[in-house]
Amino acid sequence: MKRILILFLCSFFLFSCSRQVKKAQAQPPNKTDKKSPVAGDKKKVIDHAKPFEEPPRPKSKLEQKRERIRQVMIGNDAPDGLITDVHGKVKSTATYRGKLLVIDFWATWCGPCLQGAPKFKEIAKRYESDQVAFISVSIDREYNTWKQFLENNQWDGEHYWLGMNRDEDLFSFLYKEVDDEGQPRVIIGVPKYVIISPEGKILDNEAEFPTNPAFEAHIKRLVSGLK
């Protein structure tokens, strides 16, 4: 009797488990509105994706020099630069703020520069004052070449050396664009006469040659307009 009862209970237990398994298999899978972290990350990447941008094209040497020329157009703020005197002392052209500044860019190897120098000195002596300064800035490649030239020729006046220091912003005044048989070129040209206002604005980036009466007339008008 006991065996029959045990067999009956075991059969009932197995039958109940079998029904629970079938019921669980018959239910549809539970769907949720949540998206997997992977899918969310992909959407975030797509949402924040930027259109492809080509890297900027490097500027040619001609374009770079043209920019330097534009920096020293009349009306712009004059760039400052470091210049060296005959004693080796370095100063900035910014120290001339508050004065009308006339610069003669030249070199010992430049014939026209040497021709214009005496007249430039003459005009400088006539107009220089506490409000007006005239300086000659050499672009000779070697400092000692320039210094020896001044000593040998006993040149007076305010003389400074810039050299061929193209990295100096002040050097931008020396660039000039020319037409070379139909091809644009930017060259370094001297002599170059530049006039800067007491406020540091470029009044003239290519003044007349000193032997031209227009040069002194221009200086005279500017000096008379000073307070």
**More confident position, 155 or 7:** 155
**pLDDT digits over 113-166, tens only?**
999 999 999 999 999 999 999 999 999 999 999 999 999 999 999 999 999 999
For residue 224, which amino acid is it?
Answer: S
Distance between first and last Cα of the chain: 134
Domains in the chain: ranges and CATH = 61-224 (3.40.30.10)
Residue 89 pLDDT > 80, yes or no?
yes
- Short-list 173, 165, 164, 160, CA closest to 202: 173
For residue 181, which amino acid is it?
Answer: E
pLDDT mean across residues, the chain: 85
**pLDDT digits over 10-65, tens only?**
455 444 545 554 454 545 555 444 454 555 555 555 555 566 677 777 888 888 88
- Short-list 195, 215, 213, CA closest to 205: 195
Tally of CB atoms within 10 A around 149: 17
Average pLDDT over residues 189-203: 97
Q: What is the dihedral of CA 155, 160, 165, 166, to 10 degrees?
A: -100
Residue 106 pLDDT > 80, yes or no?
yes
Tallying the residues shown for the chain, one arrives at 227
- Short-list 178, 159, 166, CA closest to 113: 159
HSE, side-chain direction, 13 A CA sphere, residue 12: 6
